Structures are given as structure tokens and as C-alpha cells.
């Protein structure tokens, strides 16, 4: 296999100093077969001085290359680099003709054939350094250019691109783009089902596979309403108008990320076209992704980072703007609760691992290193930092700085220093010092209240901060309602505090609960004084606002992970208060943590049956509470988790046989596969039942469901086949690999799969080396034996990281994180044993 080089920061800077890239003319031919396509590229560029450089390309075959009409030797292609020697100062034309491979891993030009109807679709995902899998390019974000694209496609296909496309006789031509970065070029081709409209004179479109057409049609009005509302709100916030000629949103198969912000053609994973029932919180999540990607049209596409150390300038801003704009412009007015429950936990966890990094690292050496930073820090922590910045700076000055940033750098590139300078120009506050404290540091600060008695029955508050960041927070003072209902907490007042605090703050009589960071405006772990903790245990569900309850649940989650609260105590609190919870994001977040972390990892094997029983009883309570049909979303969450924690097959097997849960819901495809997967784990189904279900649902999702179920069967031959499919063959797509991995490891089957634990590390290393970052990520995330919480699993993993022939960076990062989580789970379990 030819060596593939990653681009270093130094190489990119050197090339940017030498070159000025003007225009790409790209011709793709998608009619040449199922394995490869043709790619012809003309690059017009200037050299500022004489010098040497290179262009990137990863072809199946480089047929020819010419520079200014003079042939270049294709054999000089070294891995993914074609050298350009002895360039002279002035203008140049580079032409390359190549045969390129389709991808099955979601990288480059991904090709997918729908098992439902046999139709084929292709689309590009060119992020970071995958442009070279599709066409030749000077592949770095600060060499922006205009792109002219034409595509020859099979009859009956539609071709979507960054600009409006026209076609004649199978040739599709896209309107030239403004100056954009190479990684933002996009193509999606196939027999799409499309829903089209116009807004402000711009074409808007929604697109999906034909087999999903009825489901997209059902949701098209909602999706377009959210799109229009966010579009209008961004135009109220930003002085620069939307900078492209159309806005298409394509829901594409086997997409590795949630979505990608290609200008004019945003691609989403097509699980967002719902085939089965979903909760309103899941609809809110989809709407947030729409808002997030649209924010990128300004943050990332109009103004682009100069190099990958400023990833946060893209992702943190889109994350913050997505949640805030959705709250302001749509019916989803409580998005920050969902952010607090799901996204912040992602950031807190990432920030406490050895792989943590600053939101804005000082330097990222190369593209392989940069790819690792698309994590909870660049998204959730960065967005939390921006929310804190807005609380400190004020939204008016914040938006003034943003608009200056756009005006100065539109269709160009910018750095953190540029951004901070533009913000600083809009305020008298020391934004540079704020940036140093928040963006250049790692770790999570912890905030702890101390309440001291004062005179005449009053108290004072001192908030202790571990860490170095300044925090502007609210402290909520809650008293018990002495009325007939009991169990309710009433907000007395919220105190605005700046930490570090100067002196003690008078708070009057002792509150039943004092909650730091009430409103969740900062990014920090929160602790309770002893009396407040007892109030939380007794009256958590009596707190009036969901965002307040989210802060409390996060604090309890952190306490479990830090070994300060027994997992059983968390389960008891959930058992007492979750049946009374009204916010779906909180119910989903608490149940997910309780089942995935507490029941599967943090309790000992001997304690696991009791944990599952508690969760099962909790889900039954929620199901009973929703029998009147008033809250179908809550009922759906409870049914899903009741299936997942079932210790005995009888109840859920009856649901599957009847096709419904008594009182509803009916079992749609997602619930049927979910039940069958749990029955497989429990040894209560077989291959014949799986095959029958696949015949009933032969869709791509059905194929994944069958793979998950087959890998979950408690049978040595089934496990052997699953392992061979994952690690002994390269046939599985990233989605089918993930589904198989999800089924393979089960805590109930620890003895059966014990021998595979030591095999995991060498097999995952070899797979990642063969198949690249996308499969490395899947192998590290989904195929890791997370259930095996024991010192030997940890020792084997640490040895793997020390080996000379160790994992590629994408897998190494996943293993570092998984092993740190494993060590934490061991500490939690050992703490229970010692207690």
C-alpha cells in the first residue's frame, strides 16, 4: 500500500506563502462502473516566487498530469503527493486525469445501494483531507478558490452541488462557487426524492433516497419551517447576508457525522428522516442540527479558519448559535436544557481525560492530529465558553464584534487572534485575558458553596472555586413550599456572582437548597453543601424549572463519576424523582446514564441484577403514568428503556408477538428491532426469527438491525462469525460494522466473549491501519469491550498503546479515552467494595 502523508502545519504555511489559487475546474464521470469513477481537474494558480510544492491526490490510477502544457511523470506520485518542481513566479495551469475509487466508509465519494429498491446513491464527504479521494487539490483551508464543477451521471439521476445545477444529456453543471475552501466542495448524486421551495428568492430543497420519500414528505413542512425561521433570525443577527446562491439539505445514507456544512448543500445522516416514532426532544435535536449547520454558512464557510488549530471558531460558534437561535426563532424554546443534559456531559467527560486539550490549542501539528479535536471540547465546552462570554460581555457587544469579524474576513480566513481583536474592538472589557483563561486552558473547574451562620438567624454564602477561570454565575436560593402539596421548592431569589468571589455574600435565612450555576450559564462542576444535598435527594422533582433540574442531575452524575456518590444512591434518586419529571431531555439523559454507565459499568456484576430491576421498575412507573396517552414522547422513552433493561424475555416477547405495547405504542420497525436485539442477548430468539424480521423490513436500517441481533446471539458460532465480519474482512460498511459491534459485547455474555477481549487490541490496530480513520473511530468507539471492567482489560490496552507498531492516531485517541473511562469505572466499583 502506498504511503499516504498527512499535511503538517509547517507545510501548509510554506505552501500558502508560495501559492495563490484562483480556480478549479472539475469534471467527474459517475458512469464508469461500480468501483471507480473518473476525475479530471484543472487548477489555475499563481506562484509568488520560484519554488517547489506538491498537489494532493489519492487515485486508483493517475492517467496523466501536465503543468502549463508540459507532461509530468505519473510515477512520481508518492502516496498522495504529486511533486511540482521548479515552479517559476507567475501564473500556472495544472491538469490531472485520474481514476478514483468509490468509498464504503463514508470518506471521499461514498457509494451506497439501497437494499429496499436497488437504487444507488453517491455523495462526497471531503472534510479535513478527503478531497484528494475525489479530485486533485492544494488541500488546506487557507487556499480558497472558485470551483467550477460538472458531473456526468446515469440517466434518471439528479446531481446536487454547492451551487444551482443545470443539466443536458446526462451532463450536470453547477454554478461557480464564491471562494471557498477545498474541504467544503460537495456533490450528491442519485435518483433523489426532492421537496423544493423558495425563500427570499433563493431555491431551498430537501432531498432523500426514494425509499424514504413518504417519511420526508411527512416532515417536510416542519423541516422547512425550521430552516426559514433560522434563516430569518440569522439575518437579524448578522449584517452579512447569506453568501451562496441556494440552500439544499440532503439526507444521505451511511453518513458518519451528524451533518456537514457544505455551503449551499448541507448533508445530514438520513436517520434524521424518521421512519419510526420519535420524541419531541429528538425533533428538537434535528432542528438544532439544521440551525447548527446553517450557522456554519457564516462561521466556517464565509469566514474560514486559517489552520485546524482554530476548529473551535467553526464548531463552538455553530453549536452556541444553533441552540440560541432555535430557542429564539422556533417552537423549541427550551433547547438549553437539552444542551445541559446531553452536550455538556460530553464536554465534561472529554475535559477530564488525558486526551483533553484547550478549546483553542496553541498549535496543531498536522491534519491527523486535528481530526482528533472534533470532540466534546471543541463543540460543547467551546459553546459553553461562548455562552459564558455572552453573559459577561452582553449580547449587543458580542454581536457587534461578530459582525466586524465577518466584514473584515468574508470569503477569507481568520485566526483566534483576529477574532479576539474584533471582539475587543466592541467592548471595554479585557477580552484577551478572558480568552487566555477560557480558551487556552484545560480541565473543569469545580464550584462549591459554603454557608455560614450570621447574626439574627441569617447566613452568608462563600463560593469556592477550584481552577483558574473567572465565572459569572447565578446562585439559586430555594425554600420549601409549606402549602398543602409539599415536596415543592420555590425560588426565593437568584444572586449574580462573579468568581473568584470577594468576601461573603449575605443571603438571609438558610435556604433549603442553594444551587450554584443555576441557569447553567457557566461551564463547571457543581457541588452541594450537606443540607442542600439532602434537599436534592428528597425534593429534586419539586424544582420549578427544567434547566435548574438539569444542573442538579449533572451534578449528581459528576458525583457518581468522581466517586463521591454511590451508583445505588443515584439510582434511588432517579427511582424517586424521574417518574415525576416532565422534561423529556432530562428523562432520556438520566435513563441513558443509569443504564449505559451505572448498570453496565459502575456497579459490580453481583449488583447488576438489582440495578436492572430498579430501572425496569422505574420504566414501568413511567409507562403507567402515560397510560392516558397525554405524553406519547415520555411513554416512548420509557418503552425503549424498558426493552433495553429487560432481565427476562417474557414481557417484551409478548409485545413483539402482539405487535404492540398494551395501551400503545404499536411496535414500529425501530421498536421491533430493539425488542429482537434484547431477546437475542437473553437467548430468547434465533436466526430464523431474525431472518423473518429482515424479510419484513429489508431496508438499510433493517440490515443493521439484523447484524446487531446476529452478533448478540449467545452462541459461540454467532460470535465467531461476527468477529470475522468485523476484523477478518473489509466488506462491512462503517454502519454495518457499528451495528455488529453494538451487538457483540454484552454484560450478560461476559464469560462467552471473554476470550475475545485480548484479541480486540491487535485486531483493532490492524483494522484501523487497513481501513483508515472512519473505521478506526468505529472500532474504538463501538467495538471496545467496555463491559469488561477489570484490571486485565486495562493492562492489555495500556500495553497496546506502548507497542511500537501501535494504533493510528484516530484509534489511539479512542483507546486513550476508553481506557480512562475504564479506569474510572474500576475506581467507582472499588469504592463500592470498600464502602
Alpha carbon distance 97, 191 (integer Å):
27
Residue 268, SS3 per DSSP: strand
Q: List the grid coordinates of 485.
A: 402539596
Residue 19, SS3 per DSSP: strand
Which of the following is catalytic: 27, 293, 693, 704? 293
| Alpha helical stretches, state H, 410-498 | 416-424, 431-439
* 641 close to 629: Cβ distance less than 8 angstroms: no
* 673 close to 705: Cβ distance less than 8 angstroms: yes
Cα distances (angstroms) measured from residue 223 to each of 318, 531, 764, 768: 18, 46, 39, 37
> What single DSSP character describes residue 77?
-
Rg of the chain (C-alpha set): 27
Q: Which residues does residue 92 pair with via DSSP β-bridges, in sequence order?
A: 45
Question: Which residues, in sequence order, are CB contacts of 80 under 8 Å at separation 6+?
Answer: 2, 4, 5, 56, 57, 58, 132
Alpha carbon distance 409, 418 (integer Å):
9
Residue 479, SS3 per DSSP: strand
Alpha carbon distance 263, 233 (integer Å):
18
Residue 755 class from Cβ within 10 Å (0-12 exposed, 13-18 middle, 19+ buried)? exposed
User: Catalytic: 236?
Assistant: no
> What single DSSP character describes residue 510?
P
CB atoms within 10 A of CB 450: 12
* 721 close to 736: Cβ distance less than 8 angstroms: no
Alpha carbon distance 747, 678 (integer Å):
12
Residue 266 class from Cβ within 10 Å (0-12 exposed, 13-18 middle, 19+ buried)? buried
Known catalytic residues? 293
Amino acid at each position: 500500500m502506498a504511503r499516504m502523508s498527512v499535511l503538517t502545519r509547517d507545510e501548509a504555511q510554506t505552501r500558502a506563502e508560495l501559492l495563490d489559487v484562483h480556480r478549479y475546474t472539475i469534471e467527474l464521470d459517475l458512469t464508469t462502473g461500480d468501483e471507480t469513477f473518473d476525475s479530471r481537474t484543472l487548477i489555475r494558480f499563481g506562484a509568488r516566487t520560484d519554488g517547489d510544492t506538491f498537489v494532493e491526490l489519492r487515485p486508483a490510477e493517475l492517467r496523466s498530469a501536465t503543468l502549463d502544457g508540459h507532461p509530468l511523470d505519473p510515477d512520481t506520485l508518492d502516496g498522495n503527493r504529486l511533486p511540482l518542481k521548479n515552479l517559476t513566479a507567475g501564473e500556472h495551469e495544472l491538469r490531472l486525469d485520474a481514476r478514483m475509487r468509490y468509498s464504503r466508509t463514508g470518506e471521499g465519494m461514498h457509494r451506497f445501494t439501497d437494499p429496499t429498491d436497488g437504487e444507488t446513491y453517491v455523495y462526497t464527504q471531503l472534510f479535513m483531507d478527503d478531497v484528494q479521494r475525489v479530485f486533485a487539490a492544494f488541500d488546506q483551508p487557507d487556499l480558497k478558490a472558485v470551483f467550477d464543477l460538472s458531473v456526468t451521471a446515469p440517466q434518471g439521476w439528479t446531481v446536487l452541488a454547492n451551487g444551482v445545477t443545470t443539466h443536458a444529456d446526462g451532463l450536470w453543471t453547477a454554478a461557480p462557487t464564491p471562494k471557498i475552501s477545498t474541504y467544503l466542495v460537495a456533490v450528491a448524486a442519485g435518483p433523489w426524492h426532492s421537496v423544493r421551495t423558495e425563500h427570499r428568492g433563493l431555491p431551498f430543497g430537501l432531498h432523500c433516497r426514494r425509499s424514504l420519500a413518504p417519511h420526508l414528505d411527512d416532515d417536510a413542512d416542519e423541516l422547512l419551517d425550521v430552516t426559514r425561521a433560522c434563516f430569518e433570525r440569522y439575518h437579524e443577527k448578522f449584517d452579512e447576508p447569506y453568501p451562496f446562491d441556494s440552500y439544499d439539505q440532503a439526507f444521505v445514507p451511511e453518513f458518519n457525522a451528524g451533518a456537514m456544512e457544505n455551503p449551499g448543500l448541507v448533508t445530514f445522516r438520513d436517520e434524521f428522516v424518521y421512519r419510526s416514532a420519535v420524541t419531541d426532544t429528538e425533533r428538537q435535536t434535528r432542528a438544532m442540527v439544521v440551525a447548527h449547520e446553517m450557522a456554519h454558512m457564516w462561521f466556517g464557510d464565509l469566514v474560514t479558519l486559517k489552520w485546524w488549530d482554530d476548529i473551535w471558531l467553526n464548531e463552538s460558534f455553530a453549536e452556541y448559535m444553533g441552540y440560541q437561535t432555535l430557542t429564539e426563532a422556533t417552537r423549541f424554546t427550551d433547547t438549553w436544557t437539552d444542551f445541559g443534559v446531553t452536550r455538556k456531559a460530553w464536554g465534561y467527560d472529554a475535559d477530564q481525560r488525558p486526551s483533553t486539550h484547550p478549546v483553542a490549542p496553541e498549535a496543531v501539528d498536522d491534519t491527523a492530529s486535528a481530526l482528533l479535536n472534533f470532540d466534546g471540547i471543541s463543540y460543547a465546552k467551546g459553546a459553553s465558553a461562548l455562552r459564558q462570554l455572552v453573559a459577561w460581555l452582553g449580547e449587543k457587544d458580542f454581536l457587534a464584534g461578530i459582525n466586524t469579524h465577518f466584514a473584515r474576513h468574508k470569503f477569507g480566513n481568520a485566526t483566534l487572534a483576529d477574532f479576539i481583536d474584533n471582539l475587543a474592538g466592541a467592548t471595554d472589557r479585557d477580552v484577551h485575558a478572558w480568552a487566555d483563561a477560557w480558551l487556552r486552558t484545560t480541565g473543569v473547574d469545580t464550584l462549591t458553596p459554603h454557608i455560614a451562620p450570621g447574626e439574627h438567624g441569617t447566613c452568608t454564602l462563600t463560593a469556592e472555586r477550584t481552577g483558574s477561570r473567572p465565572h459569572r454565575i447565578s446562585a439559586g436560593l430555594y425554600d420549601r413550599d409549606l402549602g398543602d402539596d409539599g415536596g415543592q421548592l420555590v425560588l426565593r431569589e437568584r444572586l449574580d456572582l462573579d468568581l473568584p468571589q470577594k468576601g461573603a455574600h449575605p443571603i438571609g435565612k438558610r435556604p433549603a437548597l442553594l444551587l450554584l450555576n443555576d441557569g447553567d450559564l457557566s461551564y463547571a462542576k457543581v457541588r452541594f453543601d450537606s443540607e442542600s444535598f439532602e434537599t436534592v435527594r428528597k425534593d429534586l422533582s419539586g424544582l420549578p424549572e427544567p434547566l435548574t433540574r438539569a444542573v442538579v442531575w449533572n451534578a449528581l452524575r459528576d458525583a457518581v463519576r468522581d466517586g463521591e456518590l454511590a451508583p445505588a444512591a443515584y439510582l434511588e434518586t432517579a427511582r424517586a424523582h424521574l417518574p415525576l419529571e416532565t422534561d423529556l431531555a432530562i428523562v432520556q439523559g438520566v435513563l441513558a446514564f443509569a443504564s449505559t454507565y451505572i448498570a453496565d459499568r459502575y456497579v459490580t456484576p453481583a449488583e447488576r441484577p438489582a440495578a436492572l430491576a430498579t430501572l425496569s421498575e422505574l420504566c414501568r412507573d413511567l409507562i403507567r403514568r402515560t397510560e392516558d396517552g397525554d405524553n406519547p414522547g415520555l411513554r416512548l422513552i420509557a418503552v425503549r428503556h424498558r426493552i433495553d433493561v429487560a432481565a427476562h424475555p417474557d414481557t417484551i416477547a409478548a409485545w413483539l408477538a402482539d405487535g404492540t405495547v398494551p395501551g400503545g405504542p404499536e411496535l414500529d420497525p425501530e421498536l421491533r428491532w430493539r425488542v429482537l436485539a434484547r431477546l437475542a442477548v437473553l437467548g430468547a430468539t434465533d436466526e430464523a426469527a431474525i431472518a423473518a424480521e429482515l424479510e419484513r423490513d429489508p431496508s438499510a436500517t433493517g440490515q443493521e438491525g439484523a447484524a446487531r441481533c446476529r452478533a448478540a446471539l449467545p452462541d459461540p458460532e454467532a460470535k465467531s462469525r461476527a468477529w470475522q465480519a468485523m476484523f477478518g474482512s473489509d466488506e462491512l460498511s462503517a454502519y454495518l460494522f457499528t451495528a455488529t459491534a453494538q451487538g457483540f459485547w454484552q454484560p450478560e455474555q461476559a464469560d462467552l466473549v471473554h476470550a475475545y477481549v485480548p484479541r480486540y487490541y491487535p485486531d483493532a490496530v490492524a483494522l484501523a491501519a487497513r481501513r483508515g480513520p472512519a473505521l478506526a473511530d468505529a472500532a474504538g468507539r463501538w467495538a471496545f469491550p467496555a463491559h469488561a471492567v477489570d484490571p486485565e482489560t486495562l493492562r492489555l490496552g495500556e500495553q497496546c498503546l506502548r507497542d511500537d507498531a501501535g494504533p493510528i492516531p484516530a484509534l489511539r485517541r479512542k483507546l486513550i479515552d476508553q481506557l480512562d473511562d475504564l479506569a474510572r469505572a474500576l475506581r467507582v466499583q472499588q469504592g463500592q467494595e470498600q464502602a
